Structure formats: structure tokens, C-alpha cells
Structure 1
């Protein structure tokens, strides 16, 4: 077949898996074309793990993988030998751009790959592992990483200052954020667990880029927390703060007026939710292009202000990812 390889790749990109398998059997040349597509995106669960053995045995095939996801529940009976095979497979996937791993916490050692290769093209990494020494080792080999999801922090530690120089989006626990965000250009922060305090807000504000998006939960209803956020994250575009604090009485007009004044100091703010209340903005006047903020009408009983399970589960809503 004399067609250019680029054209064959383009044709293969529009074929279903069964057709790619048939194409691979047609000739040696088409075998390699089909193989690049068959292994480009690999998503596995406990019912389909044979592919891991193929990737571990063939570095050439593993280098075709661009996105790799493996999600195995904690109850799945996997032997230590399988994790060793998975570790070899990951070490071979040097061209990865996306990696999503959800495994037993004790298996984080599968990320401790040999010194080479680095994962120079990896842009997104999501893991159920805690931020331990094995994860830190892996992150030190991902210089192009933009998006990171780490659930929690295993022990007090910090990455080398040179690690993750391009990190722009963090999702995970407050403790992990405290260890990772300062000194890196993180603009988008979603805290899925832990308490947003004034000290943590000050720490997150040490990102080397302006924080534009913040979604978090707090045990406080303190106005000083909002004041701290508006002072140290003055370029916020989207803000969402929910609270586990139980209000005995509805906040008075002075309380809302103080929040309104604080929000007015954020010139770029587009969407805002505080303590479960949505705030909307409008121009101050025809001659003043600044924004004035008002809370939407609130008709629920006071105790519904607290951040129940529905609030916390919704931290990844469309509002949170509007940026």
C-alpha cells in the first residue's frame, strides 16, 4: 500500500475497535498503524486487566499510549505480582498526556518508576493515592503537568521547588494544597476536603500566578475569612465557599452588607456563592462601571445554610468549573 503514513493514520482515527483489529491483520505496515490507535487511549477496570501485561511486556506498544486510566475498587483481589506488572507498564508509557489511577492506597509504590524516562508530555494526573514519597517522586518527573488531583497528604512534606513549574489547576485536600500550591502558578483551586482557614487562604495566595477560581468548604462563617480572601486573592473570577457552621439565627443586614462591601473590592469577579447563598452583580451606575453585589432572596430555614452532603458533593459543579 503506497498511501502516505499520515493519511493512513487519519483513516485509522475514524475506525471502530473491531475494524482496527481487522486492519492490524491486513499487513505488517497496517499492523503498526492500527496498533497506534488501539493503544492510544486505555481505560481499565477490574474486569479487563490483560492489557497491563501487554504494555509491561512491550515498551514499543506502551509508548503509543497517550491517556491511561485504571480504576479498581478496594475489594478487588489483586496480587502483589499484578502491581509489579503495572509498575513496569507505567514506566514504559513515557508519552502519556493523561494519567488517572484509582487503586489501593498501599500500592502507591507503582509510581516509583526508574530514573528514566521522565513523563515530559503529561498534562493531567489524577490519583486516589495520598501525597506520599512515591507520589512526590513521580511528580518530580512531570515538568509539563497542568492539572493535578490528589486526595490527601500522607505526612508533612513538600516537593522540590523546581517540581511542577507549570501547574495551573489543583483539586484535592486542604493539606495537599498547602504543600503544593505556594510557589507554583496555580490559578484554579478546588478543595474537596479539609478546612479553609484564613491561614490556609494566605498560604494559597502565595501561588506565583493570580488565583482566579476557588471552591472550598470551611467550618467558619467568619466575615474576616471573606475579607482575607478578597484581600489576598484580589483577582478572583469565580468563588464558592460553603460552610459546616450551623447558624442559630439568620445573619442580619449588617452581616450581608459587610460581605457585599468585600465582594465589591473584587473587580473581576463573575460568579459567587458564599455559605450556600448565590450572589449576583450589576453595574453600580451608568457612569461607574464597577460592580455592586447583592445576595439572592433566601427563603430556607436557617439550618439549611450548613454545607450538607449535597453541598459538598457539588463542589465540582458547573459553577466550580466555569473558568
Structure 2
């Protein structure tokens, strides 16, 4: 590689890493793993709770890899109806089904020599899991209604917040696909297990959100910072950002006080730690209240499917 090319690659790596706040030892270990794994073409399974930043890890794997200048294409397996997943992934030929008035390339094809990110991989039906397994094993597929075999060159990254071992035991996820996907597993720890990241993340989001909402960047008082550091974040990094966005939008002065934070955050200060289930129930209730019961909007904020939200509402008696 030329000196100019090496400098360009280094700049791209620095830019990608700057988006990932990693102060805690657990986060630093994960970043080192990402750097090593990024150079490989192997399939990677990125695991972690909702809101921990799996998308960002997938982006880092792409931008720190040798094919960073190629496309990065994502498909959310949970947000699309099951009957549309296949056409979105593989594409289709004109006349393949009613309404197929033109040829369409699927996400696999659009990813080219780059990266295909399969978010919420556990949401795939068993027939789709079988078809994906073939893609991974044989590196080829056909568009719906087509006969031409198309070679797959994209690297596949799968993301999930589901315990896939348990899903395999329940026979809702194929064991052979699980092993194919998890050639290299990466686990993103929850925010409560990397507490040294909370303050730098909060400062990062504060700067970002103040710019987005065209407000002067406020500063945390000691009380507000203590409350943020005491909270356990069942919604992880996404929840921290949502909390701060509300604060930035509603703030009227140059400082953020403890009283400016949502009640469920303030209540954590100086009190016994809540269980994860208690925290999750509290957060879901808060989001449902903030969205005035709009389930689709609440599910989007929580980073879960509408179906999962309905199940959790029933489980926690929030109906």
C-alpha cells in the first residue's frame, strides 16, 4: 500500500472509531476484538441487549475492514412482514408474482463486495433460515422467479438480542444456521456493566444533541451527574440518549440539574439497586406514557418489535 493509501486507511479507521465511545475496560476489550475481526471475511454474530449499540459495532466492522469503500446494506428482519423478507433479501424478476412489474435487485445483490447486516436475525421464519443457510454455505442465490444463479461476495453480519442457544433448544432457530452465523461471536456488554462509559457517553450525546436542536450545550451539575451514574439503564445506550434528548429540548438554562431528569432516573439515586425486570418495567411504562400509549412509536424508541412490546406489556401488567 502506498503512503497516501495507508494515510487514507488510517484516517478512515480513526473516523470510524471516533463514533464509538470506549472508556470502560470492557468497551476497550470489545474495540480490540472488533479491530482484529474486521480484517477477516468470516461471518460475525453480534449479540447484546436492546440499545447497547450492535448497529454501531456492525458499522465499525465494515469501516475498519478492507472493503470499507464498498456498500454497507442493512435489512431489519423483525420490522418487515415475513412475506416480504424473501423478496427484499433476494430480489425478484419481472412477473415473479402479482405486482412484480419490473426486475428488482435484493439486498444481497446490492451489498456487492461490501457488507450485509441482518438485524434481528432470530425473527426469520424457519423456511427463510434454510434459504439463508444455503447462501452462507454455497455463496449463491437466485432472484425470485429467476433461473440465473448469482454469486454472493458480501460479508454477512448478523445481529440479535435473543438467546439463540435457547431458541435452538426450542427448535425456533436452526442449529446449523446458528453455528454458521457464529463463526466469530462478539458480545456487546450492557451499559450497566461498563459504567465508566456513562459520563463520556453523556457528554458526547449532549454535544451532539445540542447541535441537532440548535441549543447551547448545557453542563451537568454534580447532582444530575450522580443521578445519571446511579441509574442502571435497562434500555442501555439508546435510553441514555433518549433521556438526554428530552433534557436538551426542555432545558431553559445553562445547567442540567437533577430535577431536570426524568423521575425514574432521579429515584435511582441513593436507593437500593432495582432488578433488571423492575428497571425494564419502569422504562417501558415511562416510554408508553411519553408516547401517550402509541405502541408503534414506543416500540421504535425501545428498539423492539411491536409484538415484543405487546408481550412485555402483558407480562408486566401494563395493559
TM-score w.r.t. the length of structure 1 is 0.25
Structure with max Cα Rg: 1
Using the size of structure 2 for normalisation, the TM-score is 0.25
Structure with more contact order per residue of length (Cα contacts < 8 Å, sep ≥ 6): 2
Bigger fraction of residues in strand: 1
